[in-house]
């Protein structure tokens, strides 16, 4: 009886450890959602929601995750102030860190922060003649804060839903300093290899 109890206890511990270990390790993630830009002092209104997608490669260890991520955002096109058309495009390269509050539960809230850089492109042109009034591109330091909720489908598959706020930097042009920000709502999947 003691041998059976000992063997059962060992099996339960090993199974528990294996299940926990499967949750940790290298992972890949794909996210998609909507982003809202705000761009002070730029021609046009860039408050419309635009599609975004990202891919990330990271590592998870118990409560913590860290990853490298590329974020692509569809350009904002504004026709609300004719005859000018304002076009704004941003894409970011980020290093993110997350804290999973209940990492081995079916549901876990999480918080995160990131730093990186963003390529910002802006074009303002006449809607009829096509003549360019202003055009520039720059790369700026970027930081982000956010949080969300994660559902564990299996020990390896997770579904995430979250929100992020981005400060995309303050590009400077002759006589002007712009402030470019973004808010993002996304859903995604993660797979631990």
What is the pLDDT at residue 46? Answer: 62
What is the pLDDT at residue 2? Answer: 63
Mean pLDDT, each 10-residue run in order, the chain (193 residues): 59 45 85 88 65 97 96 79 76 97 92 97 80 87 97 94 95 80 96 94
Domains of the chain: 2-192 (2.40.160.20)
What is the pLDDT at residue 131? Answer: 85
Residue 51: CB atoms within 10 Å: 11
Q: How far apart are CA 139 and CA 117, in angstroms?
A: 7
What is the pLDDT at residue 13? Answer: 47
What is the pLDDT at residue 146? Answer: 98
Q: What's phi and psi for 51, nearest 5 deg? A: -70, 140
Q: How far is CA 187 from CA 61, 147, 148, 160, 161, in A?
A: 22, 12, 9, 6, 4
Q: How far apart are CA 2 and CA 18, in angstroms?
A: 24
What is the pLDDT at residue 130? Answer: 75
What is the pLDDT at residue 17? Answer: 43
What is the pLDDT at residue 56? Answer: 98
> How deeply is 143 buried, as exposed, middle or buried, from its count of CB atoms within 10 A (0-12, 13-18, 19+)?
middle
Q: How far apart are CA 168 and CA 179, in angstroms?
A: 8
Contacts of 187 (CB under 8 A, 6+ apart): 31, 32, 33, 159, 160, 161
Model pTM score: 0.80
What is the pLDDT at residue 27? Answer: 97
Contacts of 2 (CB under 8 A, 6+ apart): none
What is the pLDDT at residue 39? Answer: 75
**Proportion of the chain in helix, strand, coil states, percent, rounded to 5:** 10, 65, 20
């Amino acid at each position: 009886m003691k041998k059976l109890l000992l063997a059962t206890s060992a099996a339960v511990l090993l199974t528990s450890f294996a299940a926990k270990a499967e949750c940790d390790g290298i992972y890949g993630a794909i996210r998609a959602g909507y982003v809202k830009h705000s761009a002070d002092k730029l021609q046009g209104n860039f408050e419309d929601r635009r599609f975004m997608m990202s891919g990330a490669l990271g590592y998870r260890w118990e409560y913590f995750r860290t990853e490298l991520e590329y974020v692509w955002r569809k350009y904002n096109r504004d026709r609300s102030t004719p005859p000018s058309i304002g076009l704004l495009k941003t894409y970011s390269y980020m290093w993110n860190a997350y804290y999973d509050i209940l990492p081995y539960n079916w549901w876990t809230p999480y918080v995160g922060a990131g730093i990186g850089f963003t390529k910002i492109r802006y074009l303002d042109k006449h809607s009829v003649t096509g003549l360019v009034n202003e055009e520039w591109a720059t790369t700026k330091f970027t930081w982000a804060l956010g949080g969300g909720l994660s559902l564990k489908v299996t020990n390896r598959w997770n579904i995430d839903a979250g929100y992020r706020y981005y400060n995309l930097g303050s590009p400077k042009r002759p006589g002007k300093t712009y402030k470019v920000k973004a808010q993002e709502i996304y859903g995604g999947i993660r797979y631990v290899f």
